[in-house]
Amino acid sequence: MKIAVLPGDGIGPEIVKQAVKVLKFFDLEKSLDYAAIGGAGYEEFKDPLPKSTLELALKADAILLGAVGDWKYDKLPRDMRPERGLLRIRQSLNLFANLRPAIMFSELIHASSLKAEVVSDLDILIIRELTGDIYFGEPRGIVTNKKNEREGFNTMRYSESEIKRIAHVAFRTALKRSKKLCSVDKANVLESTELWREIIIQTGKEYPEVELSHMYVDNAAMQLVKNPKQFDVIVTGNIFGDILSDQASMLTGSIGMLPSASLDANNKGMYEPSHGSAPDIAGQDKANPLATILSVAMMFKYTFNDQDKFNLIENAVRGVLNRGFRTEDIYSNGTNLIGCEEMGDKVIERLEV
């Protein structure tokens, strides 16, 4: 078993360190190989996805990623920016299926900005297509137009095969859950998502047990805050999924709690928290490592087919929350404020019992 560990930038290294404690707890220390990505890759090799990192990731069974990005790289040419490293690794490894669960831990009900009854027991899964759409569509660029004015443009594109393969992932996932799938698009305006809807409907014929619905993305954004429990599995394209998954994460109180898995066709996966690199709090031992630790749980479930370890880790996290330990992002009066490092230790303590 080989696990590539890519800490990245900002809070990446400190949260990954805590998640690595969990991997070591399960005796995987010898399976770990570290490499630089994002700004860290740029610093070391002048490349946000250094060749050696990509090679390591290609050979690995699974990848654990922290986060990439820092304002100090904003002025670099686009290809050198940390985010490019992330997009390139997703594309190079064909990690087209991004699973982003939004689960309400009952202990954190008061950390949500929504009323408790709206979000209690919330458990939704956003499946975001990750290697297509306007993120990768060509042509793209910034040019000078006929009026001698600069003009930026991107192309929103989806091919039938790209839609079909994410549709299969979504229907299969829905079968294992409540058999309800909502596909989110903007088929009333955009041709690329008109095709999306057509292919989703067509693929759905192979899954008659799944109750399929469709929603325009603007309405979905509204319904997610109005009545999020109407959803179970949501499938959508890359850009809509980027936005809706951030929104869904806040229903649960903090984006600091939410893991993610990005899978290829063989369930090889890259596991990372859904949140970013938060350079404003980097190195201050304030970050919440639970999303990264829960991402390790997802690694066991999806790549290593080990539901038991998934449950063990999730229960350990629950146990820590139950005992009142909180990082700053989920802190409320009467709970016990601790740092990133200590939160990692608390999870290990719960795993040990």
For position 86 contacting ligand IPM by CB under 6 A, the verdict is: yes
Nearest to ligand IPM of 83, 342 (CB atom): 83
The distance of closest approach from Cβ of residue 307 to ligand IPM in the complex, given in angstroms and rounded to an integer, is: 25
| Separation between Cα atoms, residue 329 and residue 314, nearest integer Å | 19
Scanning 2-10, 80-88, 115-123, 337-345 for contacts with ligand IPM by CB under 6 A, the matching segment is 80-88
Is-contact 94 142, C-beta < 8 A? no
Q: 290-302 and 12-25 are packed helices; what angle lies between their axes, rounded to 10 degrees?
A: 50
The distance of closest approach from Cβ of residue 237 to ligand IPM in the complex, given in angstroms and rounded to an integer, is: 12
Closest CA to 303 of 333, 268, 272, 276: 268
Beta carbons within 8 Å of 76's beta carbon, 6+ residues apart: 42
Is-contact 54 35, C-beta < 8 A? no
For position 83 contacting Mg ion by CB under 5 A, the verdict is: no
Buried b (16+ CB within 10 A) or exposed e, 268-280: bbbbbbbbbbbbe
Active site residues: 135, 186, 218, 242, 246
The only residue of 194, 232, 242, 349 in contact with Mg ion, by rule CB under 5 A: 242
Scanning 7-15, 242-250, 318-326, 341-349 for contacts with Mg ion by CB under 5 A, the matching segment is 242-250
- Decide which of ligand IPM, Mg ion, none touches 294; Cβ closer than 5 to 8 Å per partner kind: none
For position 134 contacting ligand IPM by CB under 6 A, the verdict is: no
The only residue of 61, 232, 242, 341 in contact with ligand IPM, by rule CB under 6 A: 242
Surface-to-core class of residue 179, CB atoms within 10 Å of its CB (0-12 exposed, 13-18 middle, 19+ buried): middle
- Contact residues for Mg ion, defined by CB under 5 A: 242
- Contact residues for ligand IPM, defined by CB under 6 A: 69, 83, 86-87, 242
